[in-house]
Structures are given as C-alpha cells and as structure tokens.
C-alpha cells in the first residue's frame, strides 16, 4: 500500500503516513554502468484485452517479477554490502529466481535535468534488463499528494517527466510505464482522473505501450476505474497490498481488487511482508499467516500480475540480509523466489530439514504435547511441544541423523499462532548447534517478544540442534510452548 523508505527510516504508519522511497536528499550519484554489448532481446509487445494483459497473438501474459532498489539510492545504506544494479538484475533471473519483469524505480527526479537523469539512472538499466529478456516497468516512484495544494506534486511536473520519457522508450515493446506510484490525497477517483488523464493523453500521442495506473490512498482505489476508467487504451490498474490491510483471504481481497480483476486488468506492483516483532504497522506479517494464502489467492487468479516488493537488503521489507544472504522461513525472500520458479506452495513451518528428526526433551507437560511435536511440521496449537511446570530450564535436543548444511534456524513459540498471545512466547533461550568440532552457540536471545525468532546457523554442517530455554514465558502457567524448530 505504501512506498517503502530505506530501512534506516521508519515506514509509514498503517493509515496516516507514508514516506516516499527515494525522496531522501543528498544521496551521492553512483557511476552509470555500461550495458552489455548483446543486442536487446525483444519480447512480444503487450496490450490489454478485456481484463487481461495479452501479447500480439492475444495469448494472456501474467506479469510476475520484482522491484529493485532505485539506482540513485544504491549507496545510501552505510552498513550494507551493496551491489551494482546490473548485478542485481542478473540475480533476479539466476540462482533459482525466474523473474519475468523488472520494476525500475525513478525517485529523486522532480526538478532535475531529465536528460542527465535518464542517462545515469534509467537508460543503462532499461537497456541491460532488456538485453536479458526482461520486461521493464519504468516507475515514477512518487509517494505524495497530487495537485496544486502546498507540498503536492503539480500535474505539470508529472507530465514533464513523461513527455520526456515516453518518446524515448515508447517504441520498445519490453517497456511499461507506471505513471505515479502512490498518489495519496485527494482521496477521490474523479479528482485523480482529472489530474492524470492529460498525462495519459500526452503519452498516447507518442506511444501505445501499456500504462500501469495507480490511484489515490496509496494506490488502493482501483474500483474507481470500474465505472469511470482512464481513457487511452492499453491501461492496467495498479493495487498495492500489505498486511496492514487485513488477511489475505478472498473475503477481504475480492472487494479490494479481486472482483475488479474480473472486469479490468489489475497488477499488484507492490506487496510484501516482514515477520519482525513487534509487527511493523504496515508490513508486519509472516509467510505462513499472510504470504502463503496470498499466493494461493493470486495463483487462482492468473489474470492478476504482480511485482513483489522488494529485491533488496536495505529497503523494507527486505528479501536478503545486509550481506545478501537470502532470508527464508517466515521472511519473504525464499518464498517469493520459489513462487517465481513455480515450486509448490508450502508453509516454512511445514517443510524443513528437521521435520521428523529424533527429538528428546527435558520434560513434557502432557502426553499430547511430546517433544516430537516440535518437528512435526505443524504450527497449529495441537502441534506444540510443551514443557512440564517446574522445569526451570526446559531443553529440547534435535538429532538430524547426519550432518546437513543449514542456513537458518527458526524457533516458533507461543499460543494461537500467528496472532500469538504475547505472554506465552519464549522470553529467553539459547540455540546451540553441533558441528564436527563440537557444540557452538548460534544465538543467545533475551527479552524476546517475537513469535518467530530467526537464528543464523553456523557455516559448518550440523547434525544436532539444542534449544536451551532459560525463561519459558511471562504467563501464569510458566512453561515452554514451542510449535516448531525449523531448519532451512
């Protein structure tokens, strides 16, 4: 729903504030890389037909891909292991990633020399992505009020940008135009249409490329197009979705954009989630609780295209840590990668390296909550191991049977996952791993408030994991409640 800001700047609150990703000032300009010598790989030109995007033959095309960091923001993070933008583009189509479309953000452009900006921050990356066989969305990534009010973006500035860009990319079948990422207020479709229609009319004098059309309230008013569409043809309508808007169920999503997608073309150019605790007011969510049902919803509606937010280690919600290690488990990174590759939709709680391993526990609350429940692939309440009352240091030992390479260890705890009762979460614990050299401490956690804690595993293969709990909970029944210890 909201444009993301760098991780060092808090994201907007759920309903009132949004920070414009890339509206930071003072970012140093990165040198423009040169595209490969390879000739551009032209893709079939796209157009809209009914509620679908189709190619020249009329065959439906489901756009599925990724947004990447705005090139001009690539050196903003001072403690990130940054990568050249061309390398990021390569990463989106290699190593199991099978992105078909790249969303290229244009941020600090208003009032700039457009020729110089294009030469440094747009043209090199469009050309490079096209040479790799990708569709490219040029996204004017504004998160602002629109119109003539103080602080709003005047129509003339948006039109000036597209009057420069559209003629230069309008004959490239690989390119789509996202005209205004997230207009905020006025929250009126009629007012928005009167503002943006002249921009579209101007684009249409030089290009028939597909236009992706946002809407007021952070691009959540797509239903306005049902009765009063933007004219000009080849227009698909954008929706931005985050967990703050509610569960990823048909009952919730159909009235937002699902029903509209049966009549008009709809593309989710932003969605994402992050299991940080306490939950972020906009993006706080989990793969099991929100990402998985969203995939199931969208897979059942192939007319809806999408670009996931965001293929980065800095802007939130991230898919990688700051050293470009892919985040799995309840984070979105590995899940989105597997989705793009067409792998089966599974919950990270259900499928992991420790499922079915041999487990022993220092105690058990009842016969119905044995140690084996901690690796049974179930995050339901009846799928938990619970320690006995009076066990002040509940300990769980998982034997994998052989050495395995593990990237991360996820500890799920509490009651009523994923909306866990806060005082039932593990408060303090150690995660230990056994390598060929002996036991090592992977992490010591204190003052925990997270229902899921992700721990980086040792780089050496491990054959055992030990969970040593030093403070089981803040609940009156002070026992350890562990849904799963998942290894990925």
Mind listing the pLDDT tens digit for each residue in 210-253? 999 999 999 999 999 999 999 999 999 999 999 999 999 999 99
| One domain for residues 325 and 368 | no
Residue 293's CATH number? 3.20.20.80
- In this structure, the answer to whether residues 341 and 371 fall within a common structural domain is no
Cα dihedral: 422, 424, 428, 429 (round 10) = -130
Last residue of a domain, one of 346, 378, 405: 346
Q: Please report whether residue 31 resides in a domain.
A: no
N residues, the chain:
488
Pair 251, 313 in one domain: yes
**Residue 8 within any structural domain of the chain:** no
Note the pLDDT tens digit of each residue in 416-470.
987 789 999 999 999 999 999 999 999 999 999 888 998 989 999 999 999 999 9
pLDDT reported for residue 417: 81
Task: Say yes or no: 282 and 253 in one domain.
Answer: yes
Q: Is residue 290 within 8 Å of 347, Cβ to Cβ?
A: no
Whole-number pLDDT of residue 41: 53
As a whole number, mean pLDDT of residues 135-140 equals 98
pLDDT at 209 over 50: yes
- Measured at the CA of 338, the angle between CA 332 and CA 343, to 5 degrees, comes to 140
Looking at every residue in the chain, the average pLDDT score rounds to 91
Q: Does some domain include residue 95? A: yes
CATH code for the domain in which residue 477 is found: 2.60.120.260
Claim to verify: residue 394 and residue 316 sit in the same structural domain? no
Q: What is the dihedral of CA 224, 225, 231, 234, to 10 degrees?
A: 150
Residue 480 placed within a domain: yes
- Containing structural domain, residue 110: 47-346
The C-alpha atoms of residue 289 and residue 253 are separated, in whole angstroms, by 15
CB burial of residue 402 (10 Å; 0-12, 13-18, 19+): exposed
With cut-offs at 50, 70 and 90, classify the pLDDT of residue 22.
very low
Q: Which of the four pLDDT bands, split at 50, 70 and 90, describes residue 277?
A: low
pLDDT at 43: 85
Report pLDDT for 75: 87
Residue 20 lies in a domain: no
CA distance 413 to 481: 5
The arithmetic mean of pLDDT across residues 97-114, rounded, is 96
Answer yes or no: are the C-beta atoms of 449 and 425 closer than 8 Å.
yes
Lowest mean per-residue pLDDT among 3-7, 333-337, 392-396: 3-7
Do 288 and 384 have their domain in common? no
Residue 276: pLDDT band (50, 70, 90) is confident
34 — pLDDT class (breaks 50, 70, 90)? very low
59, 151, 231 from 45: Cα distances, Å: 11, 38, 20
Q: Determine if the peptide bond prior to 310 is cis (ω within 30°).
A: yes
Residue at which a domain ends, from 298, 313, 346: 346
Answer whether residue 11 is part of any domain: no
Which has the higher per-residue pLDDT, 255 or 34? Answer: 255
Q: Flag the least confident range among 6-10, 77-81, 224-228, 448-452.
A: 6-10
Please give the average per-residue pLDDT across 301-309, as a whole number. Answer: 98
Q: Using CA of residue 48, residue 53, residue 54, residue 55, what is the dihedral sign? A: positive
Strand order across the beta sheet in which 395-404 lies:
358-361, 395-404, 462-471, 428-435, 438-445
* Residue 110 and residue 226 in one domain: yes
Q: 298 or 38: whose pLDDT is higher?
A: 298
Is 29 contained in some domain? Answer: no
User: Is residue 26 in some structural domain?
Assistant: no
One domain, residues 447 and 301? no
Is pLDDT of 488 > 80?
yes
Which of 124-128, 131-135, 274-278 has the least mean pLDDT? 274-278
Tally of structural domains, the chain: 2
Spatial distance between the Cα atoms of 16 and 160, rounded to a whole number of angstroms: 29
* Mean pLDDT for the stretch of residues 187-203: 98
pLDDT at res. 302: 97
Q: What is the pLDDT of residue 109?
A: 93
Residues 291 and 321 reside in one and the same domain: yes
Is residue 323 over pLDDT 50? yes
Same domain, 108 and 146: yes
> Residue 222: which of 176, 195, 262 has the closest Cα?
262
Please choose, from the candidates 250, 263, 267, 254, the residue with its C-alpha nearest in 3D space to the C-alpha of residue 306: 267
Q: What is the pLDDT of residue 21?
A: 32
338-369 pLDDT per residue, tens = 999 999 998 899 989 999 999 999 999 999 99
- Least-confidence region, from 187-191, 192-196, 407-411: 407-411
% the chain with pLDDT above 70: 91
Give the distance, in angstroms, between the CA of residue 463 and the centroid of all CA atoms in the same chain. 32
Taking alpha carbons only, the member of 437, 488, 481, 444 closest to residue 466 is 444
CB neighbour list of residue 298: distance below 8 Å, 6 or more residues apart: 268, 304, 306
- 268 vs 13 pLDDT, higher one: 268
Name the token pair of 129.
Answer: 């992505």
Q: Which of 311, 346, 381 lies at the terminal end of a domain, its last residue?
A: 346
Residues 158 and 122 in one domain: yes
Residue 9: per-residue pLDDT? 34
Exposed/middle/buried for residue 186 (C-beta within 10 Å: 0-12, 13-18, 19+): middle
Euclidean distance between CA atoms 268 and 156, whole angstroms: 27
Same domain, 331 and 409: no
């Amino acid at each position: 729903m909201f444009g993301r800001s760098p991780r060092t700047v808090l994201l907007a609150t759920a309903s009132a504030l949004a920070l414009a990703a890339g509206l930071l000032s003072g970012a140093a300009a990165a040198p423009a890389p040169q595209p490969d010598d390879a000739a551009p790989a032209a893709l079939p030109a796209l157009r809209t037909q009914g509620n679908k995007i189709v190619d020249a033959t009329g065959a439906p095309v489901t756009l599925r891909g990724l947004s990447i960091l705005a090139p001009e923001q690539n050196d903003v993070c001072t403690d990130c292991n940054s990568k050249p933008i061309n390398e990021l583009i390569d990463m989106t189509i290699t190593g199991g990633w099978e992105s078909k479309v790249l969303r290229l953000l244009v941020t600090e452009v208003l009032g700039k020399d457009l020729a110089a900006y294009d030469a440094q921050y747009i043209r090199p990356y469009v050309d490079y992505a096209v040479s790799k066989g990708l569709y490219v969305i040029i996204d004017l990534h504004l998160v602002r009020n629109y119109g003539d009010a103080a602080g709003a973006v005047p129509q003339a500035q948006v039109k000036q940008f597209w009057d420069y860009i559209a003629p230069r990319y309008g004959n490239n079948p690989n390119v789509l135009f996202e005209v205004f990422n997230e207009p905020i207020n006025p929250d009126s479709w009629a007012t928005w249409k009167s503002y943006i229609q002249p921009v579209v009319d101007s684009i249409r004098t030089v290009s028939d490329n597909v236009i992706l059309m946002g809407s007021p309230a952070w691009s959540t008013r797509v239903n306005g197009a049902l009765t009063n569409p933007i004219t000009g043809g080849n227009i698909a309508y954008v929706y931005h979705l985050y967990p703050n808007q509610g569960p990823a169920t048909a009952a919730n999503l159909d009235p937002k954009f699902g029903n509209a997608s049966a009549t008009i073309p709809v593309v989710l150019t932003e969605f994402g989630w992050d299991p940080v605790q306490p939950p972020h007011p906009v993006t706080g969510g989990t793969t099991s609780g929100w990402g998985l049902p969203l995939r199931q919803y969208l897979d059942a509606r192939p007319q809806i295209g999408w670009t996931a937010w965001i293929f980065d280690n800095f802007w939130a919600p991230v898919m990688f840590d700051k050293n470009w290690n892919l985040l799995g488990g309840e984070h979105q990174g590995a899940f989105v990668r597997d989705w793009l590759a067409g792998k089966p939709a599974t919950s990270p709680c259900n499928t992991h390296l420790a499922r079915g391993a041999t487990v022993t526990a220092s105690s058990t609350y009842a016969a119905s909550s044995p140690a084996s429940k901690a690796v049974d692939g179930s995050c339901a309440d009846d799928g938990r191991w619970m320690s006995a009352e009076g066990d002040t240091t509940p300990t769980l030992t998982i034997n994998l049977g052989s050495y395995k390479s593990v990237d991360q260890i996820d500890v799920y705890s509490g009651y009523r996952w994923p909306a866990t009762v806060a005082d039932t979460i593990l408060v303090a614990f150690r995660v230990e791993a056994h390598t060929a050299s002996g036991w090592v401490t992977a992490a010591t956690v204190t003052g925990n408030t997270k229902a899921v804690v992700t721990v980086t595993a040792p780089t050496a293969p491990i054959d055992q994991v030990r969970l040593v709990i030093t403070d089981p909970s803040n609940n009156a029944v002070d026992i350890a409640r562990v849904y799963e210890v998942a290894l990925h």
